[in-house]
Structure 1
Amino acid sequence: MIASRREKWVGNVLLVLLMAVTIVPFLTLFVTALHPAGTYPSGLEWPEEPHWENFASAFQAANMGKLLLSSALIVVGVVPVALLIATLAGFALGHLRPPGHRWIFLVFLLGLTLPFQGVIVPLYYQMREFGLLNTRWAIILPLIGLYMPFAVMWMRAHFVNMPTDLSEAARMDGANTWSLFTKIHLPLSMPALSSLAILLFLWTWNQFLLAVVLVDDSTKRTMAGALGAFQGQYGTDIPLLCAGSILILTPTLIVFLVFQRQFVSALLQGAIKG
């Protein structure tokens, strides 16, 4: 009992420390953004007169309206297509298991080791050959391909653990492969699909490297990619820069807070199955 209490106490302390490490940077950004524009705040000190107008100024200076639209278009172009391809491939590899599925699985597994930084130069020349530089397609198409290894592995891990009795019963009732996928396996995969959609949304919205290298027009980048141009223009105005950073982070925080239950339930489901 003493050891159990000690472990519980240590666990609670570690959780509090981890929460502090996570929250303090956001709190520092928020407090700094409320200082007068053009000043250099020192430490975590609440200003005598909070300048809430810094957020409106940052919104206008960074042209956030166009950035929100651009990020939304990129997310709409990436996430649904990536989910569709990953779900079909995951079902094939995890449940149908065609000839050579182990080698295909190995190829996707090797793809997980491929960093974005390692392919950015070939991607640049390839997008230039296709005439897609400085367009949103230069971000959308590479992201779909680069997300595939993880997305397919995620969905395969779900389908490979589905009971075979369901499929056998459906086959006996005359269901073909497409009906088996759409009417039985797809409805049961909603937790895995929703959690994968959240991850793809967060990664796409916060994509920085591809947006900066492949797109020159900041209004065609993602929100995170446009932060580089905003930092270069207002890098000496620390409060305004912090206000812009908070505005860029806010959509991802809202999405995660709204869908955190679905995300956690999918992770727990995978842990229980594993």
Structure 2
Amino acid sequence: MLNRGFSRWIIAAPMVLLAIATIYPLLFTLNVSQKTRQEYVLDRFGLTDTVGLDNFQAAWQGSGLGTYAVNSTIVTVGAVAALLVLGSMAGFAFSQLTFRGSNFMFLIVLSALLIPFQVIMVPFFRVLGTTGLLDTHLGLILAYTAQFLPFTVYLMTSYYSRIPHEIVEAARVDGSTTLGVYARLMLPLGRPALLSVGILNALFCWNDVLISLLVMQSQDNRTLMVGVTALRGQYSDNIPLFAAGVILAALPMLIIYLIFQKQITEGVTAGSTKG
């Protein structure tokens, strides 16, 4: 009994430390965002004496975060929609349909997961420049779709592989076409995985800085995270204002993750085992 309790502590202690290391920066940033500039200079790590929304209001109105948030919303919604449609179709094809070269094509998709964006950054930039998609919402949507599609296909293929082939064959016997099986059967059955992968991709797109900074070159087309990064230079002498901007940028995705964290976990782990 004693050994069992000790073993639990051995496992729990690192998890507690990891949780503290994750939560503390958020609490520290929130605390700094409540301070005045003078209060921060005099005491950076102490608890704030004031609580209010002045810094948040100043960061939102004085630095164009509202425009950046609209850009991020457009790009994130467009990219996630494309990823869910293409990823679910490919997952259905790789897991339930039999065609020549399917295994080889799936290996190519998996190999794309191993290629960091920095490796393809230069040819990627040239292709967007040649096609006239630089500094456009469509260009960034296509960039996110290409970057995160391998992960989406892998997750959806793993999930759909758990569905017995007999169900698909029964739908075909009833007269459903391949597209009908996908729309009427696979999409409803894949709802948990679609929800989880959609939220994960939304987090990836919303929090991205590198790809957005490369594609969106004009200030008016910046996404929210790029705009917040620019705040560090704009308000280098007013760190509380910068901290308020960071909180505003992270808040939407943080709320979504807290609401759907159970569904995300269930959707991701559902495809990890078969049977």
TM-score by length of 2: 0.93
1:157-183 deviation per Cα after TM superposition (whole angstroms, max 9, x unaligned): 111221122123223323332222222
Taking the aligned partners of 1:113 and 1:12, their CA distance within structure 2 comes to: 32
* Runs of 4+, deviation exceeding 4 Å: none
Whether the aligned pair in 1 keeps the contact of 2:159 and 2:270 (CA below 8 Å) is no
1:149-208 deviation per Cα after TM superposition (whole angstroms, max 9, x unaligned): 111111111112211221232233233322222222221100011001001101111110
Q: CA deviation at 1:77?
A: 1.7
Between stretches 1-10 and 33-42, larger displacement belongs to 33-42
Between stretches 99-108 and 210-219, larger displacement belongs to 210-219
Between stretches 34-43 and 56-65, larger displacement belongs to 34-43
Taking the aligned partners of 1:204 and 1:256, their CA distance within structure 2 comes to: 14
Secondary structure at the aligned position of 1:17 is classed as helix
Match of 1:29 in 2: 29
1:15 aligns with 2:24: no
Whether the aligned pair in 2 keeps the contact of 1:218 and 1:229 (CA below 8 Å) is no
Tell me the number of residue pairs that the alignment of Structure 1 and Structure 2 aligns: 274
Between stretches 2-11 and 250-259, larger displacement belongs to 2-11
Whether the aligned pair in 2 keeps the contact of 1:158 and 1:270 (CA below 8 Å) is yes
Taking the aligned partners of 1:184 and 1:138, their CA distance within structure 2 comes to: 32
Secondary structure at the aligned position of 1:224 is classed as helix
Q: CA deviation at 1:272?
A: 4.4
Taking the aligned partners of 1:134 and 1:177, their CA distance within structure 2 comes to: 38
1:32-87 deviation per Cα after TM superposition (whole angstroms, max 9, x unaligned): 11111364364431122345311111111221211111111101221111110111
Secondary structure at the aligned position of 2:175 is classed as coil
Match of 2:60 in 1: 59
Between stretches 230-239 and 251-260, larger displacement belongs to 230-239
| Structure 2, gaps ≥5 residues long | none
Q: CA deviation at 1:236?
A: 2.7
Match of 1:129 in 2: 130
1:111 aligns with 2:88: no
Q: Superposed, which structure 2 residues align to 1:153-172 within 5 Å?
A: 153-172=154-173
Whether the aligned pair in 1 keeps the contact of 2:92 and 2:156 (CA below 8 Å) is yes
Identity %: 32
Match of 1:44 in 2: 45
Whether the aligned pair in 2 keeps the contact of 1:55 and 1:240 (CA below 8 Å) is yes
Taking the aligned partners of 1:5 and 1:157, their CA distance within structure 2 comes to: 36
Between stretches 23-32 and 219-228, larger displacement belongs to 219-228
Matching residue's letter, 1:119: I
1:8-55 deviation per Cα after TM superposition (whole angstroms, max 9, x unaligned): 222332332121111100011011111113643644311223453111
TM-score by length of 1: 0.93
Structural RMSD (CA): 1.8
Q: Superposed, which structure 2 residues align to 1:213-252 within 5 Å?
A: 213-252=214-253
Residues 70 and 41 (structure 1 numbering): CA distance in 2 closer, same or farther, change over 3 Å? Answer: farther
Q: Superposed, which structure 2 residues align to 1:184-199 within 5 Å?
A: 184-199=185-200
Secondary structure at the aligned position of 2:208 is classed as coil
Taking the aligned partners of 1:221 and 1:46, their CA distance within structure 2 comes to: 33
Taking the aligned partners of 2:83 and 2:41, their CA distance within structure 1 comes to: 43
Secondary structure at the aligned position of 1:273 is classed as coil
Whether the aligned pair in 1 keeps the contact of 2:91 and 2:156 (CA below 8 Å) is yes
Taking the aligned partners of 1:41 and 1:106, their CA distance within structure 2 comes to: 57
Match of 1:269 in 2: 270
Match of 1:148 in 2: 149
Q: CA deviation at 1:235?
A: 2.3
Q: CA deviation at 1:129?
A: 1.5
Taking the aligned partners of 1:235 and 1:114, their CA distance within structure 2 comes to: 35
Taking the aligned partners of 1:124 and 1:261, their CA distance within structure 2 comes to: 37
| Structure 1, gaps ≥5 residues long | none
Match of 1:91 in 2: 92
Residues 170 and 237 (structure 1 numbering): CA distance in 2 closer, same or farther, change over 3 Å? Answer: same
